[in-house]
Amino acid sequence: MAKVSIFLLGFMLLHCWVAMNEAKYVKYKDPKQPLNVRIKDLMDRMTLEEKIGQMTQIERKVASAEIMKKYYIGSVLSGGGSVPKAQASAEDWINMVNDFQKGSLSTRLGIPMIYGIDAVHGNNNVYNATIFPHNIGLGATRDPKLVRKIGAATALEVRATGIQYAFAPCIAVCRDPRWGRCYESYSEDHKIVQAMTEIIPGLQGEIPANSPKGVPFVAGKRKVIASAKHYVGDGGTTKGINENNTVISRHGLLSIHMPAYYNAIKKGVSTVMVSYSSWNGKKMHANHNLITKFLKNHLHFKGFVISDWQGIDRITTPPDANYTYSIYASINAGIDMVMVPLNFTEFIDGLTLLVKSNAIPMNRINDAVRRILRVKFVMGLFEDPLADHSLVHQLGSKKHRKLAREAVRKSLVLLKNGENPNQPLIPLPKRVPKILVAGSHADNLGYQCGGWTIEWQGVTGNNVTKGTTILSAIKSTVHKDTEVVYKENPDLDYVKSNNFSYAIVVVGEKPYAETNGDSLNLTISAPGPETIENVCGQVKCVTVIISGRPVVIQPYVDKIEALVAAWLPGTEGNGVTDVLFGDYGFRGKLPRTWFKTVDQLPMNVGDSHYDPLFPFGFGLKTKSHKAN
């Protein structure tokens, strides 16, 4: 009798154990289940509150583990320059991101959050990260394979900090250099921009051969979510005014500004970010025809559409004049995740009210959440939600800095080299008695990197992050017996009286980002023109222009012996000296037209009034002392 009782007790315990495990098993947590089964299973369990939380992206300054848990927040971001602390280490970033993530995982359903950051030329908000040339420089390389490698390196440096989402690439086609974001565009020619979408498989990984069109793809923990931006027409605004109106026919929009999105979607881009700008007076954040009908339905994009920073606020003029309407218009237009990013309770309450009053249909909410969850499942976030320290050594690694140096030397465009081809100044001799290095940008790492570096608007000085200035690169490249004299803005008498063998003048624009960079005059920052006049009038000189776009140089060209467009090269100044001194040959080609005067603008290759100082695609070549 006792034996039977023991047997029955054991059987009951086994039955309970099986039942408990069956109760614990849920399909959405099982990676062996098909993607759509996991999505449906999870969505069937979600409340409206949980769904709206997934659609909300908030700034790290207002985030905490408690907030993540209470509001079911789907995503957190760092705005430009928003960091855990000054000069934060990779470990500091990981600890912060994981703290937010633990809040998300402690919710009823344990849906992990995504952390996003503007890694637009390397993981550029982060101290000690490798800063690659901005996109305009990469466009000058004409090298999609190089750009793909840069995407892969950037992904590793982003993941090194525990972050899974890069707001890149910008695939704008800048049609007017007066635009403050022109350096974020690879070219005025959509074909070059299309070729440079090869950065997407670098960031996300190579999409599987049998993957259906438009389905997002992220290949695990060493890759990141990419974001094609800013949809669509952001580079075509009137007079290049940021966030302004792009006046163009539908044919023009589809043939110039849209093609790179075809490539991005084909390569499995996970997200698309909407532009602040308007198309023929219609705000893109409220454009149902282009977001839902064209991008989602016609192009079969299956990832999620995200707003820009406070992008829905700008639907009204002035911004935030009617926030309820902004929520209504943007969500119905097809935006899935809203970069709120600060006053998130107002957004959550407003969207909840609009859904409950049937102003926004539930199927629109479900479409948004389905897309967000699809990206989270595809990238393996449910299986590996927390970051570890295994990639911290990737931040600013020697390998990545070597790659950035290669990108710099391939991006430089030689516009002039001596008064005639038989007497070139470049390559410069390394062994001469004395050379002068002058100009505001010669010894300023912040200026060299430009905007979107450490802070949103960029920084000045050499203590901002780790890297090599052009001056330091010159000193380490020339012969040990060559005296290098640096004077930022020497006067005429000083230049005359010092018997320099030649001079290198490095001048250009000071850092800027977005609207702060809009410019109607496109001049070199003072005292740059004065430095050129004083130096190049007296001694053979190479002038290196550090800028995010073509600038006014026609008045100085005759005095300059050799002229180099170096764009915004980033942290690796040795890439500049690699070609100046002939270790490698110049090979860059202009990614955009170099105008004579701003009165000609806008002026792009193919225009009837095309009369440039240097045409699109121009670039002199030099031979290297060693194989390229």
530 labelled catalytic = no
Q: What local confidence, expressed as pLDDT, does residue 19 receive?
A: 46
Q: Which residues of the chain have pLDDT under 50?
A: 1, 4, 18-22, 627-628
Within the chain, all domains assigned CATH 3.20.20.300 are found at 46-115+155-167+195-234+243-394
Domain formed by 412-614, architecture: 3-Layer(aba) Sandwich (3.40)
Point out the catalytic residue in the list 308, 313, 518, 572: 308
Q: What local confidence, expressed as pLDDT, does residue 7 receive?
A: 55
Q: What local confidence, expressed as pLDDT, does residue 370 receive?
A: 98
- Taking the CA atoms of the chain, what radius of gyration do you get in angstroms? 27
Element (H, E) at 339: strand 338-339
Within the chain, all domains assigned CATH 3.40.50.1700 are found at 412-614
* Per-residue CA distances from 83 to 52, 124, 395 (Å): 26, 11, 15
Q: Are 598 and 429 in contact (CB under 8 A)?
A: no
Residue 550: φ, ψ to 5°: -60, 140
Domain formed by 46-115+155-167+195-234+243-394, architecture: Alpha-Beta Barrel (3.20)
Q: Please tell me the distance from the alpha carbon of residue 425 to that of residue 447, in angstroms, as a whole number.
A: 26
308 labelled catalytic = yes
Strands 165-166 and 304-306: unpaired
Query: Residue 166: beta bridge partners?
Result: 117
Q: What is the pLDDT of residues 102-139, one digit of tens each?
A: 999 999 999 999 999 999 999 999 999 999 999 999 99
Q: Are 57 and 116 in contact (CB under 8 A)?
A: yes
- The number of beta carbons lying within 10 Å of the beta carbon of residue 365 is 22
Q: What local confidence, expressed as pLDDT, does residue 86 receive?
A: 96
Q: What local confidence, expressed as pLDDT, does residue 180 receive?
A: 98
Point out the catalytic residue in the list 336, 406, 514, 578: 514
Interior CA angle at 98 toward 168 and 346, to 5°? 70
Q: What local confidence, expressed as pLDDT, does residue 625 receive?
A: 76
Q: Give Cβ neighbours of residue 187 (< 8 Å, ≥ 6 apart).
A: 136, 139, 173, 174, 193, 196, 591, 592
Element (H, E) at 347: helix 344-356
